[in-house]
Each structure stands twice: as C-alpha cells, then as structure tokens.
Structure 1
Amino acid sequence: MNIPAFLAGVSLIFLGRKLFWLFVACMGFAVAYTHAEQFTGNQPEYIIMGIAIFFGVIGAVFAVFFQKIAVGVSGFAAGGFICLYLFQLAGFEPTQLIWLGSIAGGIAGALLMIFVFDWALILLSSISGASIIVQSINLDPALDLPVYIGLIIIGTAVQAKIMSIEPEK
C-alpha cells in the first residue's frame, strides 16, 4: 500500500472542497507521481516521491497566491487524471490514444471548475480521491470498480453535507 497516496486520496474525498489548496496540492502530487518515472527514467522510489511532493507543494503555494488561475489548472489536471484512470479501468493500454481522451477530460474539468466551482470541486475531488485510493491499495481487480464507485458516492455525500451546513458567505 502506498500510504502517502492513500492519505492524499482520503483527504481529497473528505476535504477537497473545504480546502481548495489541498485539492490542488494533491492533484499536483498525484499527476507528478503518476508520470515522474516517464520523465526521469527508472529512479528509486524516494526520488519519485520527492518529485511528487515537490509538485504538491508547488500546487499548494500556487493555489494560495493565484487562486483564479489555479481553479482552471487544477480542474484540467483532475479531469485528465480521472480520464486516464477510467481508461486504465476499461483496459486501454497507455500506448493507445489515451492522451487525447485525457486532454478532453482536462478541458471538461477546467470548464466545470470555472463555471460551477463548488459542485465541480466536490465531484472532481471525490473522483480524484477515489482514483488515488483504489490505485494505492492494490485490490482484487474485480473489486476496483465497486470500491471506486462507493468511494465517489461517500465523498460526494460527505462534502455536500458539509457544504449544506456551512453558513452562506
């Protein structure tokens, strides 16, 4: 089990909307962790983890100081990350034209974040968190989809409940 990724996923599921900077940091971490080996070659795990943490911290700082830009960038990262995971669940190989679907998912995620921020953040953080958790715990492949859907439902319900009890701004 990848404990840092698991904790990032749990944080996203329950606190993604409440702590926007955490959402951006976790997306930076997840995207960097997923793709670091492609760009750095076969490096030890601690190097890959260090790169992912670095991008997570950069994402958090970016979210705090440049929130309007970070909304679109994090939506794009989340949409692309989610589409990539869904393609993997469906059995597509990374050598196929997955990147095209990931870009389309990224654009959809960015647009959602820009136009319906709260609900998009709840949904994208729940789906992203579920993706990270399922990837980090190495379940039996037959359980991946039911656990994934269950985590999305739980995350969306919990964050929607938190949003409903918050006072209006």
Structure 2
Amino acid sequence: MGVNYINALQGDDDKYLKVVATAKHFAVHSGPEKSRHQDNYQTNNKDLYETYLPAFKAAVKEANVYSVMCAYNRYRDVPCCGSDMLLQKILRDDWGGFNGYVVSDCWAINDFWQAEHHGVVETPAEAAAMALNNGTDLNCGNVYDPSLNDAILKELVDEVAIDAAIKNCF
C-alpha cells in the first residue's frame, strides 16, 4: 500500500517528480509516545530486519521514494538522525539506489545535546556535525543554522560532507 501511495504522489515521469514523498519515521519507531525524544530502543537483528525495516525497504527499492525522515528516538544508543548504521550502511549502502535526501524529524537534532533528551553530545555544533556526517541531509528545526557554521569552524564537518548533503537534495 505504501509503495502505491508513494508512486501516486511522485508520479511516473522519468524527469520530474509531481511531489516528493517522505517515508517516515526511520527507524524502529512505534510512537507517538511522549518519551520518543529520549527513548532508546534495542532489538535483535531479526526484529530489525523483519519487523521495522521492510516497509522502508519497499519504499526505497520499489517506489524510489525521494525522501526519508529519520525518527526522534535512539536505536542501539545512537539517535536515529545521527546513525551511520541506519542512514548510511542500511539505507544507502545495503539497499542501494536511494538517491534522495534524509530529513530530520522536526527538532530531533536538538535532542542530541539536550540532557533531558538523548544528551549524547555536549553542544549544538556537535549535534549538527553528528547528524550531517552520518547522513541527515536536511534539518527540520534550527540546529543546522547557525550551529552547522560553528561545526565547520571547529572542523567537525568538512566540505565533502556538505557537498554530499547538498547533492542528495537535488
């Protein structure tokens, strides 16, 4: 059903999308619990690959979805929007063919540094760097601006990562 919905939204023109569909909330999100900003889910690989990922895999491989939104929660101690395993290894490398962009859920990157949420880094610049370097191309919120500039000045992000994020958006 999701594949058909994405296909209807994006259309079948080889050159132009009607609209960009976004598959969300990637991954291991069963919300919308109030605690989703600090939840840290642990599953075995069988549950990950057989329960939580099939709909996303179909969206990427069958419908060529152009956007994926990463979830607020952590998975295996790492915020989903800063997870190399989810955003690079699985989404881009293992599944191949995902040529779109990853967008954070709104304000999810703030959770990286806020102690009452994930608190996995100390500053907004470190949060911006963690997200961008691990595959979150766009930030729905206000962490990338101005904190991404701070991350660049502190050499936490390089030009290659910025170029990749920009390329993924177009």
- Structure with bigger helix share is 1
TM-score (structure 1 length as normaliser): 0.29
TM-score (structure 2 length as normaliser): 0.29
Larger relative contact order (CA 8 Å, sep ≥ 6): 1
